[in-house]
Structure 1
Amino acid sequence: MGGTQMHGPYAPFFEEDGVERCRGTDIDVRALVAGLPSGVKDGLRYREVPWSRFCGPYGTADEVPDHLDALRSDGEAADRGLRGLDSDLWHQGGTYAPAALAAPFLVRIAAGSARRRAEILWMLGATARRPHFGDGSRAGLLQTTSPGGMYDTHGYPAHWTVEAVRGVLAADASLLLPLLDDPVPEVRRASCYVLAAAATAPGISAALRDRLAVEDVPEVRASLVPAIAQRARDHHDPRSAAAWARTLWADPGRPAEIRVSAAVAWLALVDDPVPGALLEALADTVTGDVARVMDAVPWIRDVDAGGAGLSRCLVQMLGTDARDVLGIDAAPWPGGDPFA
């Protein structure tokens, strides 16, 4: 991922730094997905989609329909389907064009059956975002799309793919919103991550706030806060959301994981100087148990999936001030692309 050099199988379709040339054509995955007939999507007629027109990480995407067939099965076949989709849609933090074609079908498979629901939602959430590469900075934690063009390893505009997946999530929000009330906490947690990445759509922010008012599982509560913050950052007024987050982290009556999650969200919503009261709130609430809860929050897990996500995020956001929270000599945490 990255760069602006056109190469690979898409080279004949794009000029150097000239991706607008193909906007709206049959090579623009955004236009293709937006134009899929409802009967194709609702009937799971994914074999009618032109998969061969686009490439996954390892070549053509012709096997994706077989993986979707397997995913709708049981047992080992479904596991194989998930592994195959993971290989063909998303690789080393980057989203590939077939992910956008698969997204409307994955939404319907997840909505229609509880089997592998959480795993499907995690896949949708991952493919609807830019490569994060451990970026837990104030500017980067809630950033869904890249400010400039990004291209996959075949030279396709990866930002087009992310936009297309986000569009699918918005168009199909009515299928995803009920999953916020799923009886399985992991599904609710994944639903936060998916809905937060959707393009503009009515009702999502209100539904996330309504769920936060009744949610009693710490990992899910802590995931709802950045989901609400991300919606505000992308679609509304981040200042208003920052004021809301501040009321949460400043309230000693709130559960510790909500205060910590709200403090992180506040830091990601504004570039104001860090107030001493926030450092004090974090010092009072960041314990080993709370860190373990926070490391299950999707945004924090993206910073470090190995169980050090909260620490790494706070060091990136606070610099040496993190020592007041973590009790360590908080030198800047190594960052950047882990695959470099």
Structure 2
Amino acid sequence: MAQGDWVPDEADQPWLPDFDVRTLVAGLPHGPVSLDDPRLAVLNDHGAPLAEIRAAMQGLGDDDPTAVWKALTALGWRVCSDGNTAVSGAVLVPSLIRIAADRAFAYRIGVLQLVGDLARTDGLRMEMRPWMLRAAQPVPVYDHSGYQENWSVDAVRVMVGRDARLLIDLLGDDDPAVRGLAAYVLVTALPVIEELTGTLRSMLDVEGDPAVRMILVICLAQHDRELDRVPEALEWTQALWSDAEAPLEIRLGGATAWLNLTTAAVPPQLQRLRDEVPMSDVIELARHLPWISWLTDETGGLEAWWRRQFDEARLD
């Protein structure tokens, strides 16, 4: 658990659910989980019924791509509506990661995006500085059914950690979008994989796609935060955004990460970078960032996001 992540105290006790999904997950075998497992029946009491989730998961195997997309959309609404991870999300993760590893599946990107979103608390808050790099949050969060979302996300992250090897393999995928999203998912894994730093840095050294390079910079900063190495991450990301000779995607990745590692005032040199880079260049790279994927559907969403990063940061 990274410093600043929420831990319940006495004042929180009356609001905590009697059922802890983390305990359920800990007792499940590694690998895909059958939704017919009687141990999962308790999930029907929290959020969407398992029958609806089962139907959506089965729809991912349809031969009609349109039906598959509808099933994936329905699944997202049931387990990650409005950026809130539902209690049932964790038990789907092993199956979803294996679907994403299947090169014949048409919507691998959408599946990985869903897994990465499930592994982050209150996902829509990530558009505001400094929340982007927080898989967990410093405050209690409840999903639409009233369940403790912090616990649901912890359970998802444990499942991600179990399948870290599959995700590391996806870092070498032919599709750059898959590579970037695999990193987005991997940096949420519990327990935290310290060796992942070397893996991601090696990838950054050889990655040729600018958008993936920006994603890798942000992922490295997020991983450092999970390892409680924020001072080192701030120093490294500042070196990136202040290097006038570095590629734009590296500088913007460093700037985005720096802004979301701290609530400190924005230095004048970083303000100048914001003023000097054409907005069209920022948007072209930012539209690939999985942390804020929904903003690409909003008119002016990415431009407003970028400007908002330079506002005063708050953690309340």
Map 1:40-51 to 2 at 5 A.
41=31, 45-48=34-37, 50-51=39-40
Question: Which amino acid in the other structure matches residue 244 of structure 2?
Answer: P
Question: Which segments of 5 or more consecutive residues in structure 1 lack a partner in the other structure?
Answer: 1-13, 321-331, 336-340
**Residue 15 of structure 2 aligns to a residue in which SS?**
coil
1:279-290 correspondence runs (5 A): 279-290=271-282
Counterpart of 1:185 in structure 2: which amino acid?
Answer: P
Partner SS state of residue 186, structure 2: helix
Aligned counterpart, 2:61 = 72
How far apart are the structure 2 equivalents of 1:135 and 1:112?
A: 29
**Cα shift readout 1:240-280 (whole Å, capped 9, x = no counterpart):** 11111112111122111221121121121133332222222
Q: How large is the Cα RMSD of the aligned pairs?
A: 2.8
Q: Classify the secondary structure of the residue corresponding to 2:100.
A: helix
CA separation of 1:286 and 1:246: change in aligned 2, threshold 3 A: farther
Amino acid at match of 1:205: T
Superposition TM-score, scaled by structure 2 size? 0.84
Whether the 8 Å CA contact 1:132–1:303 is kept in 2: the answer is no
Separation of aligned partners in 1, 2:205 and 2:275: 25
Deviations 1:113-168 (A, max 9, x none): 44122111001011111114355343322222222222222221111111100111
Given that residues 260 and 285 in structure 1 are in contact (C-alpha distance below 8 angstroms), is that contact kept between their aligned partners in structure 2? no
- Alignment-derived partner of residue 328 in structure 1: none
Deviations 1:10-34 (A, max 9, x none): xxxx973244xx3xxxx32112122
State the percentage of identical aligned residues: 31
- 1:122 paired with 2:113, answer yes
1:318 match: secondary structure: coil
Gaps in structure 2 of 5+ consecutive residues: 1-11
State the SS of the aligned residue for 1:141.
Answer: coil
Which residues in structure 2 correspond to 1:1-340 (within 5 Å)?
A: 16-19=14-17, 22=18, 27-38=19-30, 41=31, 45-48=34-37, 50-55=39-44, 59-76=48-65, 77-115=67-105, 116-199=107-190, 200-301=192-293, 305-306=297-298, 308-319=300-311
User: Structure 2: how far apart are the matches of 1:306 and 1:57?
Assistant: 31
The residue matched to 1:145 in structure 2 has which SS? coil
- Which of structures 1 and 2 has the bigger CA Rg? 1
Q: How many residues align?
A: 301
User: Taking structure 1 as the reference length, what is the TM-score of the superposition?
Assistant: 0.79
Hey, what's the Cα distance between the residues in 2 that align with 1:310 and 1:262? 17
Structure-1 residue corresponding to 2:4: none
Are 1:54 and 1:61, in contact at CA under 8 Å, matched by a contact in 2?
yes
Give the 4+ runs in structure 1 shifted more than 6 A.
none
The residue aligned with 1:4 is none
Distance in 1, Cα, partners of 2:255 & 2:274: 8
Question: Which AA in structure 2 matches 1:146?
Answer: Q
